Amino acid sequence: MATEIATLGEFGLINHLTKSIELQNPETRYGIGDDCAVLKYGEDKDILVTTDLLMEGVHFDLTYLPMKHLGYKSVMVNLSDIYAMGGMPKQITVSLALSKRFSVEDMEDFYDGLRLACEEHQVDIVGGDTTSSRTGLAISITAIGEVEHGKAIFRNGAKETDLICVSGDLGAAYMGFQLLEREKEVYYKQIETAKTDAERMAISQPDFSGREYLLERQMKPEARRDIILKLREAGIQPTAMMDISDGLSSELLHICTQSKCGCRVYEERIPIDYQTAVMAEELNMNLTTAALNGGEDYELLFTVPIADHEKIEQVEGVKLIGHITKESLGCALITRDDAEFELKAQGWNPLKK
């Protein structure tokens, strides 16, 4: 009997398909299993390589996401992986599969977003490929960066007593997604029920006033180059790091699994924006669950030695949310009333049923 891919999930499938791969070239310092592959071709710098595939209907919805925003976001999700290794991006390649419904003007808008993101992060577009598609739009971007030799930050370096930190705030992108999906449903219901041209003309556009931050976090995320520069300026070398694309809980469990350790994260310390809290209440959703599992924040999650406690508290835009423990203690969330709950990987998984 054939095994359904959904039973393994994204990372389970990757591990299943690649666990027997052996590296053959001495230049390949680190292969599959982290945010980037690490290659060594010189004495002073290591090369970082990462790639992301974005599929229409799975990763983005063009009902409400403008092409320019899509181009910008497509770059940012790749650059975020380079920063998550402690590196600096330098080049990208862009490959597209297009259906006939897209015009030249659509792709001009898409490339306007690409170029804007690249200009902001001093990244060159150096190549790619284009082909036809029968199922919409597919985007594959490969990012290439560099990091000082031996300074790449992996997921497997966290140690007992290390402090757990995050940049920015969490859950806003997920709330932005929920808001857009709700308004899309309302809009289509209005179209379905409209019987005359006058009724169709009277269909109201959604009012997003007061929720602009949520939309920006979902549609125009920012890769955290600034945090990497601040950590360097403060003389802080994280022991482990990931970007938060699939959700805080999932990323923490990746770090703990690969570092063979446990963790304690404190609910009251998780940074959450006011607009996120208001939207969660309006949608009757648990705020902490949204922050833990929502995903697409593209913030940085990292651990630092406890000796850097005073240094990290001085870094603007970084919040200390917990600490690393022995593996035997497991991974847990400590609630505001001191209850302890096991952390579970409930974040974004594109291959899940």
Q: What is the DSSP letter of 278?
A: H
Question: Is residue 8 predicted with pLDDT exceeding 90?
Answer: no
Residue 125 placed within a domain: yes
> Are 168 and 79 members of one domain?
no
> Are 142 and 291 members of one domain?
no
Q: Per-residue pLDDT averaged across 91-119, rounded?
A: 94
Question: 100: pLDDT confidence band, cut at 50, 70 and 90?
Answer: very high
Residue 112 placed within a domain: yes
**Whether 298 contacts 175, CB under 8 Å:** no
Per-residue pLDDT reduced to its tens digit, 154-200: 999 999 999 999 999 999 999 999 999 999 988 777 777 766 766 66
> Are 334 and 223 members of one domain?
yes
Q: Per-residue pLDDT averaged across 228-246, rounded?
A: 97
Q: How far apart are CA 322 and CA 166, in angstroms?
A: 10
Q: How far apart are CA 295 and CA 289, in angstroms?
A: 11
> Are 119 and 95 members of one domain?
yes
> Are 299 and 167 members of one domain?
yes
Residue 227 placed within a domain: yes
Q: Which residues pair with 50 in a beta bridge?
A: 143
> Are 104 and 171 members of one domain?
no
Residue 261 placed within a domain: yes
Going by C-alpha positions, the residue among 160, 179, 163 that lies closest to residue 217 is 179
Which CATH number covers residue 257?
A: 3.90.650.10
**β-pair type (163-167, 45-55):** unpaired
> Are 173 and 118 members of one domain?
no
> Are 169 and 266 members of one domain?
yes
The pLDDT of residue 30? 61
**Whether 51 contacts 78, CB under 8 Å:** yes
Residue 14 placed within a domain: no
State how far Cα 310 lies from the chain centre. Answer: 28
Question: 115: pLDDT confidence band, cut at 50, 70 and 90?
Answer: very high
Question: 44: pLDDT confidence band, cut at 50, 70 and 90?
Answer: confident
> Are 108 and 224 members of one domain?
no
The pLDDT of residue 128? 87
* Tokens encoding 298: 């593209």
The whole domain housing 281 covers 163-177+214-342
Residue 13 placed within a domain: no
Instruction: Please name the residues in contact with 145: beta carbons below 8 A apart, sequence gap of 6 or more.
Output: 36, 47, 48, 49, 82, 85, 87, 88, 89, 90
pLDDT over 70, % of the chain:
87
Question: Is residue 349 predicted with pLDDT exceeding 60?
Answer: no
Q: Which of 129-133, 228-232, 242-246, 299-303 has the lowest mean pLDDT?
A: 129-133
- Number of separate domains in the chain: 2
**Whether 265 contacts 343, CB under 8 Å:** yes
Integer-rounded Cα radius of gyration of the chain: 21
Question: Is residue 350 predicted with pLDDT exceeding 60?
Answer: no
Question: Is residue 5 predicted with pLDDT exceeding 70?
Answer: no
> Are 240 and 98 members of one domain?
no
> Are 218 and 138 members of one domain?
no
Residue 4 placed within a domain: no
Task: Summarize the chain as % helix, strand, coil (round to 5).
Answer: 40, 25, 40
Per the prediction, the chain carries an average pLDDT of 89
Which CATH number covers residue 43?
A: 3.30.1330.10
What end-to-end distance do the CA atoms of the chain give, in Å? 18
| DSSP reduced 3-state for 320 | strand
State how far Cα 338 lies from the chain centre. Answer: 29
> Are 227 and 123 members of one domain?
no
Q: How far apart are CA 84 and CA 57, in angstroms?
A: 27
Crossing angle of helices 104-120 and 67-84, rounded to 10° = 30
Residue 195 placed within a domain: no
| DSSP reduced 3-state for 5 | helix
